Structure 1
Amino acid sequence: MAIESDKLRDRLDRATAHLDPPYAVVDLTAFDANSAALADRAAGKPVRLASKSVRSRELIGRALARPGWHGVMAFTVPEAIWLVRAGLSDDVLVAYPSADRAALAELAADPTLAAAITLMIDGTGQLDFIDAVRAPGQRAELRLCLDLDASWRPLRGVHVGVRRSPVHSARAAGALAAAVAGRAGFRLVGLMSYEAQIAGLGDAPPGRTLLAGAIRLAQRGSYRELLARRGAAVAAVREHADLEFVNGGGTGSVAATSADPAVTEVTAGSGLYGPTLFDAYRAWRPTPAAFFACSVVRRPTPELATVLGGGWIASGQAADSRLPRPWLPAGLKLVGTEGAGEVQTPLSGAAAATLRVGDRVWFRHAKAGELCERVNELHLVEGDAVVATVPTYRGEGHAFL
């Protein structure tokens, strides 16, 4: 492992010797390998790309050009409109409900956009909001997807998973589908359910054997329950709507979700970059493909090396798992009393004593696309050379969330 780490560090250092940190790179060999592996794990079902996990139009297009990938799951309506107008996809599902009046008005006024973009709903309040923006008779018909809550509730008062949609039962899903069918100007074309407690929760947290066992037990129970409930919900919705797709899963559950006969497509995105959160999964671990570099600028003691910047923290619960991880050279670690800082990050470990002012330290982000909110461009590396430099969403002047 140390030899492989040394080779990777040497390759990245040589490829970017002309650049001054901080900057971010994507190893295209690893990116493409992850793309192929995710498609293989989907077992023939299309993989919809979660754009929030990539946030670079060029790399979204690169993944979509590969076999097995089709369509985008966007995170806002303005982003979806931008991607469609740019010609990146004519099949964009917005993953979350929207209250963006200007974007909804733009969508409703353009039949081409309305045909390409599907909005997410989980209640009639969202329909009322859209109608208030532009009345049914004054707009194109809007495509809708129903968000079925995929959390597991094994006992009264116990909630395993994230808190998303209020639509949890098959009966509730059928009732909402019936309500949509009775409203002018809308067409229900999809159903989505994101099993975050399976797809987004690693089942092998390092050094926490008891927790790992509890997570695996909960995931098995949740999967069995969701398999039955999602199938029943799809059947209930189909009584009122001609569904084009049933979407589920994420990088951490592609194989398991694709095995559900009710699901017609799966979603993935984070696995293309391989952030550190996926180091805690047993079923499949992507090859790390995205890195960012910081410069060593001081040596406060012979045992410590301090880099400029480095505090690129991921969203989610406040925990060590959300901190960036110093990756290369191997053997570095954050200092517990300081963590990753806004303007400087001290590092300890055996490798720290070998670093000199000006050396690069390579980090991995805890999550995938959030890295792109810190940089304007990504340097694409093949072998020991930068073969292209492409803009991130931020680099193109967009900060959608």
Structure 2
Amino acid sequence: MTHRAADRTRYDRATAQLEAPFAVVDLAAFDANAADLVRRAGGKPVRVASKSVRCRALLERVLALPGFAGVMSFTLAESVWLVRAGFRDVLLAYPSVDRAGFAELAADPELASAVTVLVDDPAQLELIDAARAGGSEEIRVCLELDTALRLLGGRVRVGARRSPVGTPERLAELARCVARRPGFRLVGLMAYEGHVAGVGDAVEGYPVVSRGIRLMQRAARRQLVELRAEAVRAVRAVVPDLEFVNGGGTGSVQHTAAEEAVTEIAAGSGLYLPRLFDHYSAFEGRPAALFALPVVRRPGVGVVTVLGGGYPASGPAGRDRLPEPYLPPGLRYDRREAAGEVQTPLLGSPADDLLIGDRVWFRHAKAGELCERFGVLHLVEGDRVVGSVPTYRGEGRTFL
């Protein structure tokens, strides 16, 4: 029996009493992936990205492991909720215009000491000040540096369009702006290299494209080592007691951790290991999060239809954003229908061995977005479900 066939057998056995559709997390795989992130971080703490987990119980599980420290959140409302639930050291990694949230933050010493907000424009400071509503607590601030690879004198740009601040000089000026402004304290710097951390360099069936990606990423890493070090020196000249410098992501943990200027690594997707993280040459993980859909029709030879399935991931529209029919191996989408709103036909010889009521197991293309579809994650150990925990959605928290 192959490894994947064995996994299918034990997942089916563990969940025999559950009615599909449902989602599971394999705890052995989750913990192994967590250990691998810590190993690759080389002694630097890993801040877990909550958007890639979206389940309080699993955030608590990973933060209880040695090597993990702090949360990287995605909205201010989520940050406040997590602190109210007992989490500490929450870095909001995206700018916010949540005026009510800022008023709450500025009025509560516990929140203000536990949450750090991201700023990359003086206008964001203006908005926070206007939203204080009399609250006098000092707001902890992190600046973000644009990490895009720039070639040919800046005429070619590769990287996510995030912060408008792309040079150490501009970052230092923004740091001075924060330092001069009463009610704010600059504590951190973030520089996320999405074009390295979030782009696989070993795309199956595309060797030329994969080689091009590897060449781009090597150039990006060389440029980023210098840029990040210069940026940290420039900001420390303004604020010597900077608490942290955050960088990285699941795909670049070991490279980012090797930079002296970086004090902590961000990662989250590597815990669940969704399908987009199959295409990296530097590491391998174990699929930990899956969902099961029931077979409801057998339209013909080599075809079954499952209930639901239209759960595309964010990003540029394409086949790689669809969930992967994972177990049994060998199933594929009908190109004319793909993953449907309420039903999904699947083609391939394994379909002939599936009966009405059997499960097909899928992997989502991205990590935490799976939890926007399911209210509960069933936790599997071996061939047993050992617990069931709510996702953010299951707790009535759909932040985005």
TM-score (norm 2): 0.98
Q: Which ranges of structure 1 fall in alignment gaps of 5 or more residues?
A: none
Query: What does 1:139-158 correspond to in 2, within 5 Å?
Result: 139-155=136-152, 156-158=154-156
Equivalent residue number for residue 340 of structure 1: 339
Distance 1:390 1:300 in 2: 36
Equivalent residue number for residue 263 of structure 1: 262
Distance 1:283 1:150 in 2: 21
Q: CA deviation at 1:352?
A: 1.2
Q: Which amino acid aligns with 2:309?
A: G
Q: Which ranges of structure 2 fall in alignment gaps of 5 or more residues?
A: none
Q: Which amino acid aligns with 1:236?
A: A
> How large is the RMSD of aligned CA atoms in angstroms?
0.9
Query: What does 1:45-60 correspond to in 2, within 5 Å?
Result: 45-60=44-59
Equivalent residue number for residue 283 of structure 2: 284
SS in 1 for 2:311: coil
> 1:199–1:250: 8 Å Cα contact kept in structure 2?
yes
Work out whether 1:41 is the aligned partner of 2:53. Answer: no
Aligned with residue 192 of structure 1, among 181, 190, 193: 190
How many positions carry a matched residue from both structures?
398
> 1:307–1:346: 8 Å Cα contact kept in structure 2?
yes
Q: Which amino acid aligns with 1:259?
A: A
Work out whether 1:307 is the aligned partner of 2:306. Answer: yes
Q: CA deviation at 1:95?
A: 0.5
Q: Which amino acid aligns with 2:383?
A: D
Work out whether 1:181 is the aligned partner of 2:191. Answer: no
SS in 2 for 1:188: strand
SS in 2 for 1:204: coil
Q: Which amino acid aligns with 2:123?
A: G
The percentage of aligned residue pairs carrying the same residue is: 60
Work out whether 1:172 is the aligned partner of 2:167. Answer: no
Q: CA deviation at 1:285?
A: 2.2
Q: Which amino acid aligns with 1:140?
A: E
TM-score (norm 1): 0.98
Q: Which amino acid aligns with 1:221?
A: A
Equivalent residue number for residue 30 of structure 2: 31
Single out whichever of 174-183 and 43-52 deviates more from structure 2. Answer: 174-183
Distance 1:285 1:172 in 2: 38
Deviations 1:254-304, CA, capped at 9 Å, x for gaps: 101100110000001000001000001111122000000000000111110
Distance 1:379 1:235 in 2: 46
> 2:141–2:187: 8 Å Cα contact kept in structure 1?
yes
Equivalent residue number for residue 109 of structure 2: 111
> 2:103–2:135: 8 Å Cα contact kept in structure 1?
no
Work out whether 1:245 is the aligned partner of 2:274. Answer: no
Q: Which amino acid aligns with 1:163?
A: R
Deviations 1:286-337, CA, capped at 9 Å, x for gaps: 2000000000000111110110101111000001110000000011111111
Distance 1:193 1:85 in 2: 27
Q: CA deviation at 1:392?
A: 0.2
